[in-house]
Amino acid sequence: MTSAQSSPEQHSHTEGHSAGLALIVGAIGVVFGDIGTSPLYTLKEAFTPHYGLVNNHDTVIGLLSLIFWAIMTMVTLKYVTIIMRADNDGEGGIMALMALTQRTLRNGSRSAYVVGILGIFGASLFFGDGVITP
């Protein structure tokens, strides 16, 4: 075998790595697509007279920095390191997280009931977000 050729093991490892990378980039894109519109509303709201912020260069840069780092922290810590690892037999989302949590609880317990209600509430919030997001 020459150095230009690769073994089947190396080829499948490269394909698996690129497929995983594509899934990560896609997931981050979905998250940023959803929460990426929020800063537009945040910036407009921040300059309402209620908060008393002065519309100048330093305030705008400070707000943009705050928004940027809040989104980066939320996406990196919450979605990539925690949520992307939680999986219910290949399924994700609030209902999958609810099912994973309920597996650790005793059947019929008050805690399992509360987790079920919180899961339904979370799904409701998701549907509401889907309705109002442009």
Do the domain assignments include residue 33?
yes
pLDDT, averaged in runs of 10, over the chain (134 residues): 51 63 69 60 80 88 86 75 74 82 88 91 86 73
Instruction: Verify that 107 and 96 share a domain, yes or no.
Output: yes
Do the domain assignments include residue 1?
no
- State the pLDDT at residue 100: 86
Instruction: Verify that 25 and 50 share a domain, yes or no.
Output: yes
- State the pLDDT at residue 61: 92
Instruction: Verify that 27 and 66 share a domain, yes or no.
Output: yes
Alpha carbon distance 92, 86 (integer Å): 7
Question: Domain limits at 36?
Answer: 8-85
- State the pLDDT at residue 28: 63
Domain count for the chain, please give it. Answer: 2
Task: Out of 70, 85, 100, pick the residue that ends a domain.
Answer: 85
- State the pLDDT at residue 125: 86
Q: Which residues, listed in sequence order, are joined to residue 88 by a DSSP beta bridge?
A: 91
- State the pLDDT at residue 22: 75
- State the pLDDT at residue 5: 54
Instruction: Verify that 81 and 115 share a domain, yes or no.
Output: no
Instruction: Verify that 14 and 64 share a domain, yes or no.
Output: yes
Instruction: Verify that 100 and 50 share a domain, yes or no.
Output: no
- State the pLDDT at residue 114: 92
- State the pLDDT at residue 93: 79
